[in-house]
Amino acid sequence: MDLVLIRHGQVEAAQGDQFYGGIEVPLSDLGREQARAAARFLRGLRPNGLWCSPLARARFGAECVAQELGLAAPQVLPELCEIDRGRWVGLSKSEVLGAFPGDLEAHEADPHEWRGHGGESLGDLASRINAVWDDFERRPAGLHVVVSHLFPTRCLIGRAVGLEVQQWRELKIPTGSVSYLRRRDAGWERVFAGHEPGEAGFSEVSSRGFPTTES
C-alpha cells in the first residue's frame, strides 16, 4: 500500500498568524495555486482512493487532484478535519498569551491530554485519525491519496513510523506539500515528507521511490 498525503494550500493572510484549526478559512490565491501544483505533481498516477477533510480548503485540493487524474469525487471523512483549537480560535499566539495566561505552557507540558482551551488535545486528534488509519490498514494493496491539514498529516506520518505526539512538531509540513508513505512486508516507511512541488511532476523525486506509471 502507498499513501500520498497532501496538506491544503496557504490560507488568506488575515488568518496566517492565528489559531484557526477546524474552522473554515479561505485559501489565498497562492494557496489555490499550491493545491493545483500538488495535483499536477501526481500526474500519471492511478490512485485506488481519494480522501479528504470536510473543510473547504482541503476539499478544494482534493477536487484539484480528482480533476487532474480523472478520478471520481473525493470521499469526505469528518475524522480528517484539523484539530479543534477551542477558545484560541481567531487569536494569535501573543493574544493567547495575554488572554489566557498559562494555556500554552499547559499545552506544551502535556500535549497528549491537555484540552483546557475547550478544544482537542493531540491525543484526541490521534484517536480519530487512528480510526482512519485502521480503515486504510484493512484495505487491499493500492495507492490512496489523502488531502487534509497540518496535524492530521503529522499524525498519519507519526502513526506510520512510530512517532510520539511530542515528536510531531519535528515534521515540517508546509502548505501545499506532498508526503509519501509506503507499506511493504517489513512495515511502513516514510519515503519523504513535506515536499513542495513545483511545475515538474513526480519524476523530480522518483529517485526517492515515488511511484511512477512504470513501477
Q: Which residues are catalytic?
A: 8, 82
**Residues 3-15: b if buried by 16+ CB within 10 A, e if exposed:** bbbbbbbbbeeee
CB 87 within 8 A of CB 100: yes
DSSP readout, 117-150? TSS--HHHHHHHHHHHHHHHHTSPSSEEEEEE-H
Cell matching residue 192: 519523504
Cell matching residue 175: 502548505
Grid cell 500554552 is found at: 104
